[in-house]
Amino acid sequence: MKQKITTLLLILFFCVSLNVFAQENFEETTLVKNIFSALQNQDSKLVMQSLPTKEDILYIIPMVKAGRPNERVPEVDNILTNFKTEASKDFNEILRKGTSFGVEWENITLQNVRYEPHNDEKIAVKKGHIILICDSNDITFEIILRQSIKIKDKWTLMDRMRFRLL
C-alpha cells in the first residue's frame, strides 16, 4: 500500500512539474507579435498572416474527421474565405470598440499574455484562448484570441477575436 502511494505521488509530482516547466512563452509567439503589431499599426494584413494556410487546414481536416466522423467539414477554400471575412470584421470591431473607450492604438503596451487551454479530447491538437492584456491611456483591456490552435509548432488564429475592458 505504501509503495502505491509513493508511486502515485511521484507520478503526480512529475505531471505537475512537467506542466510548470513546459509553459510556453506566448509573448514570443508569431501569433501574439502579429496581432499586437496589427493593433498598434491598425493594419489588418498582419491579422491575415495569423490565419491558417491551406496546408494547415489540410493538415487538421483528417484529425477532425477522425475525432468527429459525423461532422460535415466544409471545403478548404470555403473555410479560408470564412476565416478571412470573420477575422477582418472582428479586427475592425476591436478597433472601433477600443477607440470608443479612448484607446490610442499606436500607444498600447502589452502587459501580459495568458493562455486558457480548451483542448478537445477528440482532436489531438493543442488549443485554447490566448489573451493579450494591454493598456493605453490608463485603460486596461484584453484582446481574446479564441480557440487558437497549435499546428506544426505554430500558433494560429482559428476563431473569433474579442475586446474586453478590465
- Digit-coded pLDDT (tens) for 84-100: 999 999 999 999 999 99
In the numeric block, which cell numbers belong to residue 58?
Answer: 489540410
Sign for the CA dihedral angle at 98, 103, 108, 112 comes to negative
> What is the CA angle 141-104-163, rounded to 5?
30
Q: Is pTM, for the whole model, over 0.75?
A: yes
Domains and CATH numbers, the chain: 24-165 (3.10.450)
Length of the chain: 166
Instruction: Report the pLDDT value the prediction gives residue 23, as an integer from 0 to 100.
Output: 63
In the numeric block, which cell numbers belong to residue 104?
Answer: 490610442
What are the pLDDT digits (tens) for 47-56? 999 999 999 9
